[in-house]
């Protein structure tokens, strides 16, 4: 995401020896440590669970494009959604809020980019 300009470019740095995004890992670790130090751990765990399930739901939905066998991705997607929305209400609301804010920011940035660069680019559609 940093390499594509969705996050600060400095986070895209890849360690020359270990080939991992070391700055991004340190940034995520700092955010997690900060949240864990001030938030209720049960709430943080619930939010994290919601985020992981949302991520895997997207992965299962994306698997639909890979071929005719859609039973496994369908079951995976439904399972992720069911589990995500069975979490405590505060975790679900926080997760939905963060995803919504992220979608709005992405949409605004994309619209601003297209406004300054003309026609929309079709990368990623398909």
**Structural domain spans, the chain:** 1-38, 40-126
Q: How far apart are the first and last CA of the chain?
A: 20
Assess whether pLDDT exceeds 90 at residue 120.
no
Higher per-residue confidence, 4 vs 118:
4
Q: Please provide residue 21's backbone torsions phi and psi, each rounded to the nearest 5 degrees.
A: -75, 80
Q: What is the pTM of this model?
A: 0.76
């Amino acid at each position: 995401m940093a390499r594509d300009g969705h996050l600060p470019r400095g986070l895209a740095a890849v360690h020359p020896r270990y080939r991992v995004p070391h700055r991004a890992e340190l940034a995520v670790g700092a955010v997690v440590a900060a949240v864990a130090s001030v938030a209720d751990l049960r709430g943080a765990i619930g939010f994290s669970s919601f985020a992981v399930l949302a991520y895997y739901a997207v992965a299962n939905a994306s698997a639909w494009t890979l071929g005719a066998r859609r039973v496994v991705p369908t079951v995976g997607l439904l399972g992720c959604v069911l589990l995500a929305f069975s979490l405590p209400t505060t975790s679900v609301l926080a997760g939905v809020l963060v995803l919504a804010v992220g979608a709005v920011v992405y949409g605004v940035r994309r619209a601003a980019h297209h406004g300054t660069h003309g026609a929309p680019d079709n990368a990623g559609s398909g």
